[in-house]
Structure 1
Amino acid sequence: MTDFFRFENRTCIQARLVAQTAVSVGSRVSLLPSGSDLPVIKTPDGLPFIPGSSLKGVVRSYLERILRTLGDAKKAVQGERLWACDPLDKECCCVPPGRKKELVEEFFLRARQTGENFDELLARAIWKESCTACRLFGHQWMAGRIAFRDALLVNAEELPQLVEVRDGVGIDRDLGSAKASIKYDFETVPRGAVFGFQVVVENAQDWEVGLLFLGLEALREGMLPVGGKTTRGLGFVTLEDVTVRSFTVEDLLLRPEEGKVRTPQEFIDAFTQALQ
Structure 2
Amino acid sequence: MSSLENVFYIQAGLGVLANMFLLFFYISKILGDRPKPMDLISCQLAFVHIMMILSEGDNLLANILESLKLGNDIKCKTTFYINRVMRGLSICITCLLAVFQAVTISPSTSLLAKFKHKVKTHIIYAFSLLWSFNLTFSSRLIFYVSGFTNVSDTHQMKVTKSCSFFPMNYILRGLNLIVTVSRDIFIIGVMLTTSTYMVIFLFRHQRQCKHLHSISHLRASPEKRATQTILLLVIFFVVMYWLDFIISFTSVLLLMYDPVLLTVQKFVIFAYSTVTPLVQISSGKKIISMLKTLYSKCH
TM-score, with normalisation over the residues of structure 2?
Answer: 0.27
Relative contact order: is structure 1 or structure 2 higher (C-alpha 8 Å, sep ≥ 6)?
1
Q: Which has the higher helix share?
A: 2
TM-score, with normalisation over the residues of structure 1?
Answer: 0.28
